[in-house]
Structure 1
Amino acid sequence: MSKEAPTLSLLANSPIRPSLQHLVQNHTLWTAPIIILLFALVVRWSIALNPYSGYNTPPMYGDYEAQRHWMEITLHLPFSKWYTYDLQWWGLDYPPLTAYHSWLCGLIGSKINPAWFALDESRGLESAESKLFMRSTVVLSELLIYIPAVFAFCQTLYGNAYFKKYTATVLILLQPALILIDHGHFQFNHLMLGFTLWAINCFFTSHFVAGAFFFCAALGFKQMALYYAPAVFAFLLGRCFTERAGCWLFIQLGLAVVFSLGLLFLPWLGSLQDLAQVVHRVFPVARGLYEDKVANVWCAINVVIKLRQILSLESTVRLSLLTTLLAILPTAVHLGLRPSRKRFLYALVNTSLSFYLFSFQVHEKSILLPLLPATLLVLEEPTATALFVNTAMFSMFPLLKREDLVLPYFITILLWNWLLTGFKWSQKNAIESFTTVAIYGLFLLWHLSEAFLEPPAVVTGLGLVTPLGVGVKTTWKNLLEGQCGIVSLGEGFESLPVRIAAKVPQGSLEHGQFTSSEWLDRGDDRVMAKFTQYAIAAARQALDDADWKPKDVQEKERTVQAWVV
């Protein structure tokens, strides 16, 4: 028993330990995997009962509609049109394995009810039955790929040390960020992460070629798996030098990669134009340096230095590429020279976090990639892992709040931290303890302020009155999802893009012009006073940050006001 006790004091108070001891005393330890699996499924289905991205927010809805739409187009259209069909309505922008998965889900769903995925006619469908099916596809996909990979990883790493094995399994499966994004927000990130974890399992058991197949599957499902590529490449290259038949292994790995990627892209290999369109959709350079307000270096620098105004798009691509390479190079070289299982996990954290901090076009959900290897190290680095998980969750709070996932946010964080520590922190390092408490205290203070204090208003975008600190793209997202009202005092903005104006829930769209008057009564003296206070400085800065450009000086000076509903 003593040899299985955790060596790290943070885990000493975990409630998982007495639960496992109870099973041992009753000779029912064999039920532990079943209990863990059922508990993990209950948590996922509980989160699935909450709203999702774009819930009841026409006309464009959100990521839920994007996933449903991909099932629709892959089911009804030939391969050549998958990446070209009506790109303004959630055009497919993930690699082919995502498309194949969408086709399979759409095929199964259409057998149940063809109306769920009728071409064009099913856009925005939110019937109770279709939502149940869509939620089921996420749960079943995770049950088939990600969850078995977690069990296999913990078995490979900890063997018969049942306390460590099952504790790690629980903490990995109940990591809150992935659950909230996939089962709340609605995505299939667990498939990319599951394929990656199967690759790790294969590497750890010296099945390197099989691991290469799985990693190519991860890349073929979501291009963000490239965050792991430097560590994977360095680890496998290092193994080619340390293995007895290293040269033959190198050839096998090369053939496995070429065969896997060739198989994934096979339907488009007959036309360079079609293949180029797939690559263009998968790597959308035109979107810009970063998306929304994400906790990476470029977004932080933008507060002081407006790189997107100073540098061209090509220059920002080169800058982000150079800084990312410089950040990952030491880790990759070290791992390649001294490949080992433990170094590989740490390298996965370092390289994926480097991509998150420095690479081009990062979304806040990209934090899920460094979170996977960090969570795999939960028994080795419990304090650091806990801090990482909680910080990642905090960074995604604005996204989750917009989608009415605040209650699941707090419940899943509390559940995971309780399972890790029992809310009894026993750290011997005073500096580490003080730092951890200080950071968590700041998180708590921010949440209390956000909940009970009314933030000052600030004008962003085209003069939109929003809470202080909300960025231009976040403002647009709130507007398009119906969380803001908008009114034009004067003539409409003639050069306001039709694609944007058509999404605005309030008002009307006529020939690309947005005109509305029904939100005038939303104003009051308090709001107008704040509008006047912040308008001049903030509106000019926000107009410079926005992608929209006025056609003339007069249009730039027109006033557009919005009030949070």
Structure 2
Amino acid sequence: MASNKEPFVNLFKSSPLNDFLIPFRKAQNQWVARYIIILFAVIVRTAVGLGSYSGEATPPMFGDFEAQRHWLEITIHLPISNWYYYDLQYWGLDYPPLTAFHSYILGYIGSFIESSWFALDASRGFESADLKTFMRITAIASELVIYIPAIMMYTKWMGRYYNNAPSIDQTIIAAAILFQPSLIIIDHGHFQYNSVMLGFSLMSVVYLLHDYYAMASIFFVLSIGFKQMALYYSPVIFFYLLSVSIWPLSTNFNILRLITIGVATISTFIFLFAPFIYAGGIEQIYQILFRVFPFGRGLFEDKVANFWCATNIIIKYRELFTTDQLKKLSLLLTLIGMAPSCIAVFFKPKKNLLAWCLIATSMSFYLFSFQVHEKSILLPLMPISLLLNEVNADVISMVCWISNIALFSMWPLIKRDGLWLQYAVLAVMSNWLMGNLSWIRKFVSLLATYKLT
């Protein structure tokens, strides 16, 4: 992709992020600035982690924190053939295989520190301060390994080949993405590992930008293999890879590229599922798919800010339609919503369209698909945050508005977790860092001037 010939315009010039990092502009190497924003990101996540978490002191099921802890427990104590069958009435494993392997590694490490944290069945509902610290550290470490490097790589490519951003401005944009409040409050407050799935997906996009299609395929399969919600991005990834391999048919049909992509994709799936098949036979795949896609849960979950939940105030869908009818209706509306972006990325596989098309498809899934919950907004928010690389004030304003609305939509969940203080501080901090609160300073100045006159 040819570089944009227009000079870069720093749209964060009046923001505290810019004020913090601009002194490093003259440095030949920006590693110090990157180190500072990563360290600050870790400090903020650690501070959020000092608060409560999902299901704290709320037996008998507790919450997502207990679910994640329980998966560490069962994966280190049970044979792999039992992982997706064990105690399904409690917190049975219901994420794809890579999450199970991730849980096994973390559980293996944790059991060396303190075996009682993950004693089979006996540790159910365990809530010691040491365990909480360990689990919080695993969430931060997981984000440091994949998600943060992917952001750095994406903004570096955009600065070099798209928006002509100098190194320090690339770092400022990366910092703005890193302090997206919704992901912080969910992964490090409520407690989950969404950053791993998002990191694999973003790394796939980075490899698409570099034209490494096999690596992009591998990383995207890994994102699906960690959390099935990465399928929100799959239509765009599929049609982009298909397009660069066959379109236009007369001049660009690259059979070797198509085969390479196919082999990379299939091989990665085999790598993820082979241990289960070897241990328990082909029925393991059916059990995993049954657990991963819970169609029996219903159209939506709790107070999710999507189309079905919003209009359910007027139209009682679950009373008027059967579950099968609702599945078909949600599928139809989801396909209609994503169709334009899929068509666009197939006929015009431009790299600067990737983020926009990912937003359109993931938002279609969020608004119209079956079984959506509050945390699903993190999927559209990731590519939306990437638009901070656009040299357009209107686009950046739109990103800020959507980010604030998404955070607001999570309030019922965060309130239930007792994280109202962390929620409020993150909301103010993220807007302040972006320069969205500069109007307060101007208002105070005007008020002072008025009083003096």
The match for 1:280 is 290
The one-letter code matched in structure 2 to 1:413 is: A
8 Å CA contact retained: 1:171, 1:420:
yes
Residue in 2 aligned with 1:421?
Answer: 435
- C-alpha displacement of 1:124: 0.6
Give 5+ residue unaligned stretches, structure 1. 427-565
Q: TM-score, normalised by structure 2?
A: 0.90
Task: State whether structure 2 residue 420 is matched by structure 1 residue 401.
Answer: no
**Contact kept? 1:53, 1:63, Cα under 8 Å:** yes
Q: CA deviation at 1:181?
A: 0.2
Instruction: Say if 1:13 and 1:422, in contact at 8 Å, map to a contact too.
Output: no
Matches within 5 A, 1:478-517: none
Equivalent residue number for residue 170 of structure 1: 175
Structure 2 residue 200 is matched with structure 1 residue 199 = no
**182-191 or 252-261: which moved more?**
252-261
CA contact (8 A) 1:54 1:62 kept: yes
Give the equivalent residue in structure 1 for 2:41.
40
Counterpart secondary structure, 1:295: coil
Shift of 1:199: 0.4
User: 1:153 offset after TM fit, Å?
Assistant: 1.0
> Which structure would you say has the larger Rg?
1
Matched, 1:250 2:258: yes
Q: Offset at 1:27?
A: 7.2
How far apart are the structure 1 equivalents of 2:116 and 2:59?
Answer: 19
Question: How far apart are 1:4 and its partner, in Å?
Answer: 4.2
**Offset of residue 164 of structure 1:** 2.9
Q: Of the two structures, which has the highest relative contact order with CA contacts closer than 8 Å and spacing of 6 or more?
A: 2
Pairwise CA distance, 1:58 = 1.8
CA shift for structure 1 position 179: 0.5
Which one has a larger percent helix, Structure 1 or Structure 2? Answer: 2
In structure 2, what is the Cα distance between the partners aligned to 1:372 and 1:304? 31
* Post-superposition offset of 1:289: 0.6
* Contact 2:15 2:434 (C-alpha < 8 Å) held by counterparts: yes
Superposed counterparts of 1:520-535, under 5 Å: none
The 1:27/1:203 distance shift into structure 2, 3 A limit, reads: closer
For residues 269-418 of structure 1, the aligned pairs below 5 Å read: 269=277, 271-380=281-390, 381-418=395-432
Change (3 A) 1:30 1:3: farther
* Secondary structure at 2:388 match in 1: coil
Offset of 1:425 from its aligned partner? 5.9
Percent of paired sites with the same residue? 46
RMSD across aligned positions (CA)? 1.8
Quick check: 1:4–1:162 contact (8 Å CA) kept in 2?
A: no
- Is the 1:231–1:335 Cα contact (8 Å) retained in structure 2? yes
Distance (Å, rounded) in 1 between the aligned partners of 2:146 and 2:295 = 31
The question of 1:84 aligning with 2:92 is answered no
TM-superposed CA distance for 1:362, in Å, is 0.1
SS of 1:89 mapped into structure 2? coil
- Equivalent AA in structure 2 for residue 139 of structure 1: I
**Structure 1 letter corresponding to 2:229:** M
Amino acid of the structure 2 residue aligned with 1:209: A
Rate the CA distance shift 1:208–1:305 in 2: closer, same or farther, 3 A. same
Separation in 1, partners of 2:122, 2:94:
21
Name the CA shift for 1:337/1:25 in 2 (closer, same or farther; >3 Å). closer
Q: Name 1:263's counterpart in structure 2.
A: 271
SS at 2:58 equivalent: coil
1:172-251 → structure 2 map (5 Å cutoff): 172-241=177-246, 246-251=254-259
3-state SS of paired residue (1:377) = helix
Match of 2:443 in 1: none
Q: Over residues 11-59 of structure 1, what are the superposed CA-to-partner deviations in whole Å (9 max), with x where a residue is unaligned?
A: 3311222333322367785410111111111001000101000112122
- Distance between the aligned counterparts of 2:215 and 2:286, measured in 1? 28
| CA-CA distance at 1:154 after TM superposition | 1.1
Q: CA separation in 1, counterparts of 2:31 and 2:225?
A: 36
TM-score (norm 1): 0.72
AA at the equivalent of 1:419: L
Letter in 2 for 1:404: G
What is the match of residue 121 of structure 1?
122
Gaps of 5+ in 2: 1-5, 441-453
Shift of 1:302: 1.2
| C-alpha distance in 1 between matches for 2:209 and 2:188 | 29
